[in-house]
Structure 1
Amino acid sequence: MARPEWKAALLASAIGALTLAAQAEEHYGIGRAATPEEIAGWNIDIGRDGSNLPSGSGSVERGRVVFSEQCATCHGADGQGGLGDRLAGGQGTLASLKPIRTVGSYWPYASTLFDYIRRAMPQNAPQSLSNEDVYAVSAYILNLNGVVPADAVLDAKTLAAIRMPNRDGFVTDPRPDVHNH
């Protein structure tokens, strides 16, 4: 899950890398500073409240097609797992001796699903799916988990409004230096 601490660490790492690149360029004549366009290409995070979701929309029906073409090889035809993680099922198992952690049983925010798919999937071609296809695959996975109906069409507004089954299954971190949002 993309937590604020993770994002801050990633930002600090990026700044450190840019500083080292600038120093390498200055001292050794190699490398160059990243352009604003290059930085913008990776500044695509989505907040758990749905902030920064892009325009576009996608249906469960379209998601079924994209999933079968781009995702099923790793995640199984119905998201039951394979080479990649299981994505569907597991509801009611988290308190058991063998919890099944899937999008529907464990993930607290639907926006995180969109963010992860857009940023990292398919594994052999990250960031290759259009926003419409990412909305569609998100809709399909959420449908497999019973979170949205088969006729659902997701966009920035509808995705942000989804309340995941395990939204309240996490506890806040009591450490004073952690910002719980």
Structure 2
Amino acid sequence: MSSTSKGVLAATIALVFAAPALAYDFGRPATPGEIALWDIDVRPDGKGLPPGSGTVAQGKQVFTENCSGCHGDNGVGGLKDRLVGGQGTLASANPIKTVGSYWPYATTLFDYIRRAMPYQAPGSLSNEDTYAVAAYLLSLNGILTADGKLDRDSLPKVKMPNREGFVPEPEFDPAKLFKKK
């Protein structure tokens, strides 16, 4: 490489690393409305749950129309994951991981349904339909009564059977991870 080429390369590298990111005029900052469209996560404590509500009866209809093709009637026997049953099997030689046996938070169920289901059209269910499907699945698993209803206030209060089943490894203890040195 000639000394001229080396000089051009060095100047180019210096310019690239010295120039601020906005100097390239690439893209633009997202608007608050655009951010809100993607800010849909729901935490275990319920923060982020949208308005709306749904009943077990409504959920049965929505599930039949949108979910039973993959998960089977009543959440069992479909081509995809089983959603019902399995309580008491996690410590066995053949654990059955379902909504009722494995999932630690009902809010996580809502979040997953809202983001990823139905498989062929993720995110297409309304908030009401999502609450209803969650209510239906929790009812099938004996966690919510057959006449149950869920909304942003009641969903975080649902105590899942495996809530205490997730024990963090000692090296991931938040008190140790974020300890000031």
TM-score for both structures, normalised by structure 2: 0.79
How far apart are residue 153 of structure 1 and its match?
Answer: 0.8
> Aligned with 2:96: secondary structure?
coil
How far apart are residue 126 of structure 1 and its match?
Answer: 1.3
CA distance in 1, matches of 2:58, 2:174: 40
* 8 Å contact from structure 1 (residues 81, 87) kept in 2: no
**Partner of 1:67 in structure 2?**
63
CA distance in 1, matches of 2:116, 2:81: 14
* 8 Å contact from structure 1 (residues 61, 140) kept in 2: yes
| Structure 1 gaps, min length 5 | 1-22
How far apart are residue 177 of structure 1 and its match?
Answer: 7.0
The structure that has the greater radius of gyration is 2
Deviations 1:37-73 (A, max 9, x none): 2221111011101112111110000000000001011
CA distance in 1, matches of 2:75, 2:106: 16
> How many correspondences in the alignment?
157
2:167 to 168, 171, 180: 171
**Partner of 1:146 in structure 2?**
142
CA distance in 2, matches of 1:75, 1:26: 51
**Partner of 1:78 in structure 2?**
74
**Partner of 1:13 in structure 2?**
none
CA distance in 2, matches of 1:124, 1:35: 29
- With over 3 angstroms needed to count, the CA separation of the structure-2 counterparts of 1:174 and 1:126, relative to structure 1, is same
1:131 aligns with 2:123: no
1:157 to 139, 153, 157: 153
> Aligned with 1:157: secondary structure?
coil
How far apart are residue 158 of structure 1 and its match?
Answer: 1.1
* 8 Å contact from structure 1 (residues 90, 104) kept in 2: yes
> Aligned with 2:164: secondary structure?
coil
| Structure 2 gaps, min length 5 | 1-20
**Partner of 1:9 in structure 2?**
none
Q: CA RMSD in A?
A: 2.1
Moved over 2 A (4+): 29-39, 176-180
> Which letter does structure 1 place at the counterpart of 2:156?
A
**Partner of 1:99 in structure 2?**
95
1:49 aligns with 2:49: no
